[in-house]
Amino acid sequence: MAAAPPSDFNGGKVESSEAGSKWLDAHYDPLASIHTFSACLALADLHGDGEYKLVVGDLGPGGQQPRLKVLKGPRVLTESPLSELPAAAVTFLKDHHEPRTPALALASGPCVYVYKNLRPYFKFSLPPLPVNPLEEDLWDQAKEDRIDPLTLKEMLEGIREKAEVPLSVQSLRFLQLELSEMEAFVNQHKSKAIKRQTVITTMTTLKKNLADEDAVSCLVLGTENRELLVLDPEAFTTLATMKLPSVPAFLEVSGQFDVEFRLAAACRNGNVYILRRDSKCPKYCIELSAQPVGLVRVHKVLVVGSNQDSLHGFTHKGKRLWTVQMPAAILTMNLLEQHSRGLQAVMAGLANGEVRIYQDKTLLNVIRTPDAVTSLCFGRFGREDNTLIMTTRGGGLIIKILKRTAVFVEGGGELGPPPAQATKLSVPRKTRLYVDQTLREREAGTAMHRTFQTDLYLLRLRAARAYVQALESSLSPVSATAREPLKLHAVVQGLGPTFKLTLHLQNTSAARPLLGLLVCFLHNEALYALPRAFFKVPLLVPGLSYPLETFVESLSDKGISDVIKVLVLREGQSAPLLSAHINMPVSEGLAAA
């Protein structure tokens, strides 16, 4: 910036990607405390003195202190508090009077505040929405005390269920109340006329009847009740109203209102609707199947950024032309227009701290910033034509100037194979030992194989033997006989010297209950004492797990433990149905004592 004195250069300079960068770092203030969106940035010659100012609708830190800031160079020229958060700020020429200084419009809540020469000039409020006649009627009755609160509540609920026109806030609030509070609420509010108000979500400008740079423009508003309004620039009357299927979040307009125009509205349902002059409702629809995060028109191509980290190009009829994948989430988008070279491109601020500039699907330039950029604006600032203004997530302000010699060429960004292709593969290395073993295997492979096979057979044999033995002596905790399918598992609780031993016995048969079973404990009587070493099991219903509890007292104080065997027997048979070996833990209680 020519106007900016060198002292304004901040210590923490904006990191420039390479020495031959196309940008001059004019200003970086990480503590500028500007929290805003691209929609709330505007550049204009507000005083008609040839010095372009930056208008910022600042949300304040945490969205708490909304302010209107006007910056001249890097300095804040004026700052005034706002009553509500600004949704959008635009500058436009509203009449033909000389000097032709643009007016500033700030959309906030249900109103548009228009400033001229930075002085408040006019306030436009959105017309109130029609209320449900039935609802109005009900409240009229309430006013005359012809209806009791309970009936009122029922009737209102009926309206909410069916009616096309939603209820007013007053009625909704009323429906939430407890019975006791209703009376007071009705008395307090009955005299007031019910009303429904909507808010502005987005705003842009549309040339009225001339395509010139300094032609008079209309304001186009998108509202929360899914409408688009076009306002007359002088009288602020509504020139046209258009209905949308969803709430508009971003608008993009081309053409002139009196001649022919195209309006693209990116909506909250993930669709972009395209309207024309004589259409009251959308003519084309682009379904993104993702949320749009920005909408920019470059010549005749609509560029939409989606929250799935991609940029899409569409024709004005909604046909998809191209898609580019981004390395990170897109935070904001805006148009870069370099009049001297007739260049139009899209800038996208990404979550990884990059600003990427695309012309169609070719990457022209990447700017790396110290913090993620949340709003972008390019244009004439001060007396410098091509200035890029960025604000960051942390509230910082970055101003860069495009070098006059800079030419954007295709392939200014990444080219060729991905960088990963140049890195070497990390093939795991093999040790000397491994090589020696390999050699040994080559020499004595057969012997190794034979030894292994012999051992394997021996192992299998022993396993089989042990298994057979377990089966023969019913050592397994699952009964193998078909008549008494049983499952047992045991849990030992406690630290000692007294433990609680819980046996979970389950009858796994499909339908047959089991009766006449006995449980017997075998243990070393020198080490453990059990109150009952032998007891009967109740009838076992199929499927249920029966916990059988008993206490075990550890008698030894030498810190040794033993195995307790649990046998489940059938009355009158000596061979157990199943058995379990419980490894008792060492008694810690005694060891400590």
Partner 1 sequence: MAEERHPTRTQFPASAETQKPHLKKAPEFPILEKQNWLIHLHYIRKDYEACKAIIKQQLQETQGLCEYAIYVQALIFRLEGNIQESLELFQTCAVLSPQCADNLKQVARSLFLLGKHKAATEVYNEAAKLNQKDWEIYHNLGVCYIYLKQFNKAQDQLHHALQLNRHDLTYIMLGKIHLLVGDLDKAMEIYKKAVEFSPENTELLTTLGLLYLQVGIYQKAFEHLGNALTYDPINYKAILAAGSMMQTHGDFDVALTKYRVVASAVPESPPLWNNIGMCFFGKKKYVAAISCLKRANYLAPFDWKILYNLGLVHLTMQQYASAFHFLSAAINFQPKMGELYMLLAVALTNLEDTENAKRAYDKAVCLDKYNPLINLNYAVLLYNQGEKRDALTQYQEMEKKVNLLKDSSSLEYDSEMVEMAQKLGAALQVGEALVWTKSVKDPKSKQRTTSTSKASGFQQPLGSNQALGQAMSSAAAYSKLPSAAKIYHSPSNARKHGVS
Residues 450-509 that bind partner 1 (CB under 8 A): 450, 452
- Is residue 427 part of the contact set for partner 1 (CB under 8 A)? yes
- With respect to partner 1, which residue has the nearer C-beta, 52 or 250? 250
Residues 564-593 that bind partner 1 (CB under 8 A): none
Residues 8-27 that bind partner 1 (CB under 8 A): none
- With respect to partner 1, which residue has the nearer C-beta, 272 or 584? 272
What is d(CA 466, CA 231) in angstroms, rounded to the nearest whole number? 93
Residues binding partner 1: number (CB under 8 A): 91
Candidates 6-14, 234-242, 526-534, 561-569: pick the segment binding partner 1 (CB under 8 A): 234-242
User: Which positions ≥6 away from 401 have C-beta within 8 Å?
Assistant: 1, 23, 24, 26, 384, 386, 387, 388
Record the tokens describing residue 285, joined without a space.
Answer: 């629809």
User: What is the side-by-side strand order in the sheet with 384-392?
Assistant: 23-29, 397-402, 384-392, 373-381
The phi, psi pair for 576, rounded to 5°, reads: -70, 150
- Is residue 344 part of the contact set for partner 1 (CB under 8 A)? no
- With respect to partner 1, which residue has the nearer C-beta, 380 or 393? 393
Task: Give me the least distance between CB of 190 and partner 1, in Å please.
Answer: 9
- Is residue 319 part of the contact set for partner 1 (CB under 8 A)? no
> For the residues of 554-574, what is the DSSP string, one character each?
E--SSS---EEEEEEEETT-S
- Is residue 192 part of the contact set for partner 1 (CB under 8 A)? yes
Candidates 120-128, 273-281, 507-515, 574-582: pick the segment binding partner 1 (CB under 8 A): 120-128
Question: Out of 117, 151, 241, 323, which residue is the one contacting partner 1 (CB under 8 A)?
Answer: 323
> For the residues of 270-339, what is the DSSP string, one character each?
SEEEEEETT-SS-SEEEE-SS-EEEEEEETTEEEEEETTTEEEEE-TTS-EEEEEE-SS-EEEEEEEEEG
Task: Give me the least distance between CB of 365 and partner 1, in Å please.
Answer: 20
Three-class SS of residue 199?
coil
- Is residue 314 part of the contact set for partner 1 (CB under 8 A)? no
Site string for partner 1, 79-118 (x = CB under 8 A): -xxxxxx-x--------------------xxx--x-----
DSSP character at residue 189 = H
Q: Cβ(333)–Cβ(38) under 8 Å?
A: yes
Count helices and strands (H / E) in the chain. 6, 36
Question: Out of 91, 101, 132, 202, which residue is the one contacting partner 1 (CB under 8 A)?
Answer: 202
Question: Out of 228, 253, 331, 345, which residue is the one contacting partner 1 (CB under 8 A)?
Answer: 331
Candidates 93-101, 189-197, 376-384, 565-573: pick the segment binding partner 1 (CB under 8 A): 189-197
In 339-485, DSSP assigns E strands to 343-350, 354-359, 362-368, 373-381, 384-392, 397-402
- Is residue 430 part of the contact set for partner 1 (CB under 8 A)? yes
What is d(CA 220, CA 275) in angstroms, rounded to the nearest whole number? 13
Residues 365-394 that bind partner 1 (CB under 8 A): 374, 393
DSSP character at residue 513 = -
- With respect to partner 1, which residue has the nearer C-beta, 39 or 399? 39
Residues 149-188 that bind partner 1 (CB under 8 A): 160-162, 164, 166, 169-170, 172-173, 176, 188
Question: Out of 299, 426, 526, 547, which residue is the one contacting partner 1 (CB under 8 A)?
Answer: 426
Q: Which residue has the tokens 């204009």?
A: 44
Roughly what angle, to the nearest 10 degrees, separates helices 149-162 and 179-189? 90
